[in-house]
């Protein structure tokens, strides 16, 4: 498969996932799984050696980030903070993750150095959400 085709396929999937997250759709109805888990499956395919190095690096970062997201912002939380966790998670997905994934899709096609700008936005917004979660749980600020 050609590199441009790999980029276009991943860009389309990023746009679909990002748009769904922005609309508050946590489940990909075509794959019947969570948006980010569905995206992670697509990203995993791009990790194969047939893809260009830059695309593989981006895929690796996305794959690792999705794992990190599910470890830290998904799952069971003490009842006293579970509502706040849901609010933080929803706000992050709709306002930060969704737009960043769409911006990344455009940068993948443009193939320029700005490709890491949306990743920086995504990762820093995610880390900020984790900090807020820690404060909500009574951790250090």
Model pLDDT, residue 30: 76
Model pLDDT, residue 141: 57
CA distance 17 to 11: 10
Higher-confidence residue: 19 or 116?
Answer: 19
Model pLDDT, residue 100: 95
CA distance 7 to 13: 10
Across the strands, what pairs with 27? 34
Q: For the chain, how many structural domains are there in total?
A: 1
pTM over cut 0.75: yes
Query: Helix or strand or coil: residue 97?
Result: helix
Residue 141 falls within a domain, yes or no?
A: no
Range of the domain at 58: 3-136
Residue 85 falls within a domain, yes or no?
A: yes
Residue 45 falls within a domain, yes or no?
A: yes
CA distance 122 to 58: 12
Model pLDDT, residue 20: 95
Residue 40 falls within a domain, yes or no?
A: yes
Residue 51 falls within a domain, yes or no?
A: yes
Residue 41 falls within a domain, yes or no?
A: yes
């Amino acid at each position: 498969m050609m590199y441009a085709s790999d980029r276009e396929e991943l860009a389309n999937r990023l746009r679909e996932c990002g748009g769904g997250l922005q609309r508050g759709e946590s489940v990909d109805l075509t794959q019947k799984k969570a948006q980010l888990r569905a995206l992670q499956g697509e990203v995993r395919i791009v990790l194969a050696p047939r893809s260009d190095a830059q695309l593989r690096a981006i895929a690796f970062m996305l794959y690792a980030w999705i794992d990190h997201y599910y470890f830290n912002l998904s799952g069971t939380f003490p009842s006293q903070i579970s509502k706040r966790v849901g609010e933080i998670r929803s706000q992050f997905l709709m306002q930060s993750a969704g737009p960043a994934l769409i911006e990344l899709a455009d940068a993948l096609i443009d193939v320029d150095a700005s490709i890491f700008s949306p990743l920086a936005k995504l990762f820093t917004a995610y880390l900020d959400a984790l900090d807020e979660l820690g404060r909500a749980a009574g951790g250090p600020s």
